[in-house]
Chains A and B, each alone.
Chain A
């Protein structure tokens, strides 16, 4: 048995090296554009415009980033980062709260039309946001929510996907637990807070990561409803930095902004990785 294992390891040695070589090559290929963006954010405008394009970082890092964060082109990138953060967290937290509650209602309460409601919610999964963007705009404009955080957040907050996910998870919670809680005297919302929510915490974490990135990467919707640069989010704001007409784009600032736009999602993913993976892999029963 021991010898066999030894043989396996030896045999795997070459394979392991080979796979790692391929993996490292793959990473390099994928990482190259990001590297170029980083390089471009550390040199001067004239360095970029004059070919060949530099491939090693210059000495302008501090200046370019300070410039982007505090003055930017239309609006300081700091403001855009803050807007994006509010929007992404608002959407993620809002979606989670609403889907938890609606999934709880659909799974644990008997009310007329329960399954109809579920399938109606499910049906909206079939429609991409873009299909209903015009009527949604009309509604938001009617409420006077253009150029506001509520306009950025609320229309994107309802989530069939998350509701569906939580519903599926709740269905795996044994009925006996709900009954035990009833015998223990828990009212429905006590059962929700004390038992259902803590049991879903890994799912919630996984969903938070996904939804945060979803919110962060929203492009079309903020582009439509924010006309005031003060309300721009960073992902759409990058596009707004390109000048119209014959002006030169100020590449170092734009690239610095791009790099800055990538940092928060990376922090969220890395920070919640452990919970995130647990949430996707097991449901802890």
Chain B
């Protein structure tokens, strides 16, 4: 159990800098999710903590100690890989005990620890099988078992659920979270799936293009996204972002006043989450509804703004059936649920 601290981390491959100055402090026992699209540097960041990549500049501190030059095994970490990385010729028991065997623990002690971890993960009946005789979910469990058997200070997960089917993913998500909080081990978890990030994280790091766009609790990121990218990446369906203008304290689309928000005048990016729209006759947002996707509990409406033809998604509770090909609808939005971003920097602006 340990804190992890990243201080001004930078990473370059040759001349290309892929991580620009990421800093954060992770508390003991905290579950941190690093989320972002592919190629944003999230895995690289994790691998630097693991010691599988060198740090170009900045410091990685694990348990308060500088770990930059330590080998992975000396960092007191355990890692779960995307493709599980189980040794194919070893049984589950040997796979889980390999790290301990290398650490030259006595055989009895290894057996006891492997058994304890296996019991925790309900792997006991599988201990003598080879990885190829296991299902995807079971392999995932073995990979977890290999990580917890050493009682590391920090867990590192590199997209561990991306090879599982949707149902199993939901189940494993809960299991990982439960296990982590039961063991109280600090965890860094990399994923591109914003649902995993929202549900598992104590705090999340939203990465884009090698930059940490926002670091905060899931609800902070959802409610007050710091940048346009964070706003659009977190939340499903994605936030609508429209080109708008602030005139006399009102956000206006074309000539229509949408919502009074105050602040200085000028062009802005105006963000509205689909689920915050209210269908009202008096609403100021006029759209042409093109298609409805009923999901049961709610309905997604894919629309076009009448004034600008920008596409626009609304999520309304209950079932909505469109009457015809083009049905005009009106929506309104509460000032507290609307987001404004600077048109140049993409940073959140609160007027």
> Which of these, A177, A182, A194, A201, contacts B52 with CB under 8 Å?
A182
Q: Quick one: CB contact mask for A181-215 with B, threshold 8 Å, 1 for yes?
A: 11111100010001100110100000000000000
Q: Are A184 and B99 CB-contacts (below 8 A) given A199-B88, A199-B89?
A: yes
Contact A177 B71 (CB under 8 A): no
- A247 touches B (CB below 8 Å): no
Contact A182 B88 (CB under 8 A): no
- A10 touches B (CB below 8 Å): no
> Which of these, B50, B82, B83, B102, contacts A186 with CB under 8 Å?
B102
Contact B89 A198 (CB under 8 A): yes
Q: Which of A42-96 contact B (CB under 8 A)?
A: none
Contact A185 B99 (CB under 8 A): yes
- A284 touches B (CB below 8 Å): yes
- Which residues in A have their C-beta under 8 angstroms from that of B89? 195, 198-199, 201, 284
- Which residues in A have their C-beta under 8 angstroms from that of B83? 174, 176
Cα separation A255 to B82 with both chains bound (whole Å) = 61
Determine the interface band of chain A, counting residues with CB < 8 A from chain B.
10 to 19
Cα separation A177 to B146 with both chains bound (whole Å) = 13
Q: Which of B69-104 contact A (CB under 8 A)?
A: 71-73, 77-79, 81-89, 98-99, 102-103
Contact B103 A185 (CB under 8 A): yes
Contact A185 B102 (CB under 8 A): yes
Cα separation A185 to B73 with both chains bound (whole Å) = 5
Contact A182 B102 (CB under 8 A): no
Contact B50 A183 (CB under 8 A): yes
Cα separation A184 to B97 with both chains bound (whole Å) = 9
Q: Quick one: CB contact mask for B102-123 with A, threshold 8 Å, 1 for yes?
A: 1100000000000000000000
Contact B102 A180 (CB under 8 A): no
- Which residues in B have their C-beta under 8 angstroms from that of A181? 87, 98
Q: Which of A197-239 contact B (CB under 8 A)?
A: 198-199, 201
- Which residues in A have their C-beta under 8 angstroms from that of B73? 182-185
- Which residues in A have their C-beta under 8 angstroms from that of B88? 199, 284-285
- Which residues in B have their C-beta under 8 angstroms from that of A195? 87, 89
Cα separation A201 to B84 with both chains bound (whole Å) = 22
User: Of residues A179, A180, A195, A284, which shows the largest number of chain B Cβ atoms within 10 Å of its Cβ?
Assistant: A180
Cα separation A190 to B73 with both chains bound (whole Å) = 14
> Which of these, B77, B85, B103, contacts A180 with CB under 8 Å?
B85
Cα separation A176 to B88 with both chains bound (whole Å) = 12
Cα separation A186 to B78 with both chains bound (whole Å) = 13
Contact B102 A184 (CB under 8 A): yes
- Which residues in A have their C-beta under 8 angstroms from that of B99? 183-185
> Which of these, A180, A190, A199, contacts B79 with CB under 8 Å?
A180
The smallest C-beta distance from B344 to any residue of chain A, in angstroms, reads 41
User: Of residues A174, A184, A194, A195, which shows the largest number of chain B Cβ atoms within 10 Å of its Cβ?
Assistant: A184
Contact B102 A190 (CB under 8 A): yes
The smallest C-beta distance from B51 to any residue of chain A, in angstroms, reads 8
Cα separation A190 to B102 with both chains bound (whole Å) = 8
Contact A176 B102 (CB under 8 A): no
- Which residues in B have their C-beta under 8 angstroms from that of A190? 102
Contact B81 A182 (CB under 8 A): no
- Which residues in A have their C-beta under 8 angstroms from that of B71? 182, 185
- The residue of chain B having its C-beta at the shortest distance from the C-beta of A199 within the complex is B89
Cα separation A195 to B94 with both chains bound (whole Å) = 12
Cα separation A174 to B86 with both chains bound (whole Å) = 10
- The residue of chain B having its C-beta at the shortest distance from the C-beta of A182 within the complex is B72
Contact A177 B102 (CB under 8 A): no
The smallest C-beta distance from A29 to any residue of chain B, in angstroms, reads 43
Contact A183 B87 (CB under 8 A): no
Q: Are A183 and B82 CB-contacts (below 8 A) given A194-B98, A195-B87, A285-B88?
A: no
Interchain residue pairs with CB less than 8 A apart (14)? A176-B84, A177-B87, A179-B52, A179-B72, A179-B79, A180-B79, A180-B146, A181-B98, A183-B77, A183-B99, A184-B99, A199-B88, A284-B88, A285-B88
Q: Which 5 A-B pairs have the closest CB atoms?
A: A185-B73, A176-B85, A184-B99, A180-B85, A198-B89
